[in-house]
Amino acid sequence: MTVHEQLVVTALSVSYGRRKAIDGLSLATIRAGTVTALVGPNGAGKSTILKALAQIVPSTGALLFGSTNLRLLKPRERAGLIGFMPQALPQGTELTVIESVIVAMQGAVSKGGLERQAVAVLQRLNIVQLSLSSLDQLSGGERQLVSLAQAIARSPRLLFLDEPTSALDLARQLQVMQQVRALAEEGAAVIMVLHDLSLAARWADQVIVLDRGRLYATGSPQDVLTPAMLADVYGVHARVERIGDQVVVLPESAVPPRSTV
Amino acid sequence: MSTVVSQHERLADEALAAYAGLKRRRRILLAILGFGVIAAFLLDLGTGPASISIRDAASSLLGFTELSRAQGVILWQVRLPVAVMAVLVGASLSLAGAEMQTVLANPLAEPFTLGISYAAALGAALAIVLGIGVTSLGGPWLVAGNAFLFALAALFLVQALTRLTNAGAETLILFGIALGFAASAVLSLVQFIASAEALQQIVFWSMGSLARADWTVLSILAGVLVLVVPFSLRAAWPLTALRLGEERAISLGFDTDRLRLMALIRVSLLAATSVAFVGVVGFVGLIAPHIARMLVGEDHRYFLPASLLVGALTVSAASIASKLIVPGIVIPIGIVTALVGLPGFVWLVVRRHRRPA
């Protein structure tokens, strides 16, 4: 297991047309074997950053993982290294669950072991009973688990998850977060976009707070998730409680709009 | 502990066996479709105003029996080309529709709904009336060549418009409809100024008819299909990946822009050659892939061949129907497919909107 590798992101910029969504963002080092939560209000640029890191949207800036320049990888090499879970799977796809995982493994696994390995991934996420269900018949939570299965099918060393728990009930949230921790322990560097700050506090080693495309703060959950940050970035008064060594965020009321002068 | 492990392995084996069963069912369905195409083809040969039975037709084709001279001419020069044409055109249009629906992520995409057929009709009409063409060959080649280029241009125009405006899938269809209207308006204008003789040719052309089949035309259609199908099948995995969404497909290392471009080139070749020689045959490229999808799902290793076979079967059936509806008269095939296809189209739209968001 190589725990020494780290992801270094420097001067990342993303433009949509003439609008700069992200402008020269540098992130703190993200070590393999850890889980990083990317948080911030709607429109802060969280998903855009994740897509830029996965090179799904064009961007500029340095992306280094260990001694590998991610920008110089061929698409197939990149696909073997980076697992990406988008916010949602498209509607109306009449593929079965197992087919969707098999197609996600194409080229990464030798033909013979393909189906067995796809089944192993489904078992890992406890959804093997859905193998032959059509993606279209799944509930929102099941779709999310299948999407995660596709993302981890190639055992990537960099795993980027865009709101992996947004449609999940409590039991499945727990299950997914445990899997994410397990994947990190196996050596992956995980970055996930989360809206639930208490979830971020519970499961992430490091929290990155974004505000309107800029880096606001980076650090451990305890250091970063403070009432001052919540008022400043989210515009809410919130209580931040400690239960044991866990941080729990309880929003209470909106901060009156900042004066624009 | 060991019971947990064996339980785990038992579940894995069950899932694998179930998937193997699914694949087996799909292969059987493909075989059934293949036999269906052969059966419809023979039935098509045996149907028509002149009484030649299926058995006589089949045994004559295989060289077992000699037909009378008149019957021989009817079989070899009328029925056989038409029946082969039905199979080739159905296969081409349906495969084109299937690939289009996948790469445009739109279940309503097909050469007809994207205005490509009308653009081809316009190209053909211009060649008929004005003798304006891009090929130096004369006659039917001028008409077909022009139809082909107009179809190609329409496809790329709709693509470019959609890309420029950064619009979604629904907009693409709207652009296609607009283009279809524009082409048919200009077509009306051309018809208005055309001579009576040219007008008749244009109207006949745009109805969509298998009667224009001759062996040269058939070899071109077959050639295009033989050229395109291996490339389609080779793209089966990336096309399947595209069904998981653009972002997922890119993250899996597929170049989706290139994939889309190559697929649209294949689609243009298939659709434009079919339309150029047969005229406007609507809805086959729309409905047949949907039937295929319902039968074998969207793993494109099965979906593409199934679409091709269902398309061939559909147009063969339409060809048979076109000879039976009014005894003694062969109705142009485009009319038959439109009459049958339109309710199918409405059904697809309704079904789509009923789906929970």
The CATH number of residue B115's host domain is 1.10.3470.10
Which percentage of chain A shows pLDDT scores above 70?
A: 96
Q: By the CB < 8 Å criterion, does A47 face chain B?
A: no
Look at B64 and B332; give whichever has higher pLDDT: B332
Q: pLDDT-based confidence at A215, cuts 50/70/90?
A: very high
Query: Residue A128 phi/psi, 5° resolution?
Result: -65, -25
User: For A64-116, how does the pLDDT look when each residue is reduced to its tens digit (9 = 90+)?
Assistant: 999 999 999 999 899 999 999 998 888 888 899 999 999 999 877 677 788 99
Domains of chain A: 6-254 (3.40.50.300)
Query: Residue A27 phi/psi, 5° resolution?
Result: -105, 155
The reply to whether residue B355 touches residue A54, judged by beta carbons under 8 angstroms, is no
Closest CA to B99 of B226, B221, B236: B236
Residues of A in Cβ contact (< 8 Å) with B251? 54, 56, 79, 82-84, 86, 151
Measured between alpha carbons, how far is A191 from A207 in angstroms, rounded to an integer?
10
What DSSP assignment string belongs to A218-249? Answer: EE-HHHH--HHHIIIII-EEEEEEEETTEEEE
Q: pLDDT-based confidence at B357, cuts 50/70/90?
A: very low
Q: In this structure, which amino acid lies at residue B113? A: T
Residue B6 included in any domain: no
Q: In this structure, which amino acid lies at residue A191? A: I
Answer yes or no: are the C-beta atoms of A9 and A27 closer than 8 Å: yes
Residues of B in Cβ contact (< 8 Å) with A91? 355, 357
Residues of A in Cβ contact (< 8 Å) with B355? 91-92, 136
Which percentage of chain B shows pLDDT scores above 90?
A: 36
Q: What is the pLDDT of residue B312?
A: 96
Residue B35 included in any domain: no
CB nearest A89 (choices: B244, B254, B299): B244
Look at A251 and B300; give whichever has higher pLDDT: B300
User: For residue A35, what are the β-bridge partners?
Assistant: A190
What are B279's two structure tokens?
Answer: 């005229």
Residue B280 included in any domain: yes
Measured between alpha carbons, how far is B118 from B158 in angstroms, rounded to an integer?
13
B10 CA: distance to closest CA in chain A (Å): 11
Q: What is the pLDDT of residue B121?
A: 83
Ramachandran class of B144: left when φ > 0, alpha when ψ lies in -120 to 50, beta otherwise: alpha
Q: pLDDT-based confidence at B133, cuts 50/70/90?
A: low
Which residues, at least 6 apart from A126, have a Cβ–Cβ distance to it below 8 Å?
A145, A175
Q: What is the pLDDT of residue B130?
A: 77
Closest CA to B174 of B121, B115, B123: B115
Q: What residue numbers bound the domain in which B235 lies?
A: 84-354
Which residues, at least 6 apart from A108, have a Cβ–Cβ distance to it below 8 Å?
A79, A80, A153, A154
Measured between alpha carbons, how far is A105 from A109 in angstroms, rounded to an integer?
6
Q: Give yes or no for residue B181 having a pLDDT over 80.
A: yes
Q: pLDDT-based confidence at A1, cuts 50/70/90?
A: very low
Q: Give yes or no for residue B211 having a pLDDT over 90.
A: no
Q: Give yes or no for residue A223 having a pLDDT over 60.
A: yes
Residue B72 included in any domain: no
Look at B6 and A132; give whichever has higher pLDDT: A132
Q: Is the dihedral of CA B343, B346, B348, B350 positive or negative?
A: negative
What DSSP assignment string belongs to B92-137? Answer: HHHHHHHHHHHHTT-TT--TTTTTHHHHHHHHHHHHHHH---SSS-
Q: By the CB < 8 Å criterion, does B293 face chain A?
A: yes
**Is A59 exposed, middle or buried (CB count within 10 Å of its CB: 0-12, 13-18, 19+)?**
buried
Look at B48 and A225; give whichever has higher pLDDT: A225
Q: By the CB < 8 Å criterion, does A100 face chain B?
A: yes
Q: In chain A, which ranges are E strands?
A: 6-16, 19-25, 30-31, 35-39, 60-65, 68-69, 82-85, 158-162, 189-193, 206-211, 214-219, 236-243, 246-254
Q: What is the pLDDT of residue B137?
A: 52
Tell me what the pLDDT averaged over chain A comes to: 90
User: For residue A9, what are the β-bridge partners?
Assistant: A63
User: For A137-175, how does the pLDDT look when each residue is reduced to its tens digit (9 = 90+)?
Assistant: 898 889 999 999 999 999 999 999 999 998 889 999 999
Q: What is the pLDDT of residue B356?
A: 45
Measured between alpha carbons, how far is B322 from B291 in angstroms, rounded to an integer?
21
Nearest chain B residue to A47 by CA: give it. B247
Measured between alpha carbons, how far is A168 from B64 in angstroms, rounded to an integer?
68
Mean pLDDT of B118-136: 75
What DSSP assignment string belongs to B5-50? Answer: HHHHHHHHHHHHHHHHHHHHHHHHHHHHHHHHHHHHHHHHHT-SSS
Host H or E run for residue B202: helix B196-207
Measured between alpha carbons, how far is A194 from A41 in angstroms, rounded to an integer?
10
Q: Is the dihedral of CA B49, B55, B59, B62 positive or negative?
A: positive
User: For B238-280, how does the pLDDT look when each residue is reduced to its tens digit (9 = 90+)?
Assistant: 999 999 998 999 999 999 888 988 888 898 888 888 888 888 8
Q: What is the pLDDT of residue A107?
A: 72
The reply to whether residue A119 touches residue B15, judged by beta carbons under 8 angstroms, is yes
| Residue that the structure tokens 């994740």 belong to | A50
Q: What is the pLDDT of residue B268?
A: 82
Q: Domain count for chain B, please give it.
A: 1
Residue B56 included in any domain: no
User: For B70-93, how does the pLDDT look when each residue is reduced to its tens digit (9 = 90+)?
Assistant: 888 888 888 899 999 999 999 999
| Residue that the structure tokens 């100024």 belong to | B193
Closest CA to B217 of B109, B82, B331: B82
Q: pLDDT-based confidence at B140, cuts 50/70/90?
A: low
The reply to whether residue B297 touches residue A95, judged by beta carbons under 8 angstroms, is yes
The reply to whether residue A51 touches residue B298, judged by beta carbons under 8 angstroms, is no
Which residues, at least 6 apart from A238, have a Cβ–Cβ distance to it below 8 Å?
A227, A230, A231, A249, A250, A251, A252
Residue B67 included in any domain: no
Q: Is the dihedral of CA B100, B101, B102, B106 positive or negative?
A: positive
Residue B162 included in any domain: yes
Measured between alpha carbons, how far is A186 from B230 in angstroms, rounded to an integer?
41
Q: Give yes or no for residue A43 having a pLDDT over 60.
A: yes
Q: Mark B177-195 as b/e (b = at least 16 C-beta within 10 Å).
A: eebbeebbebbeebbeebe
Residue B223 included in any domain: yes
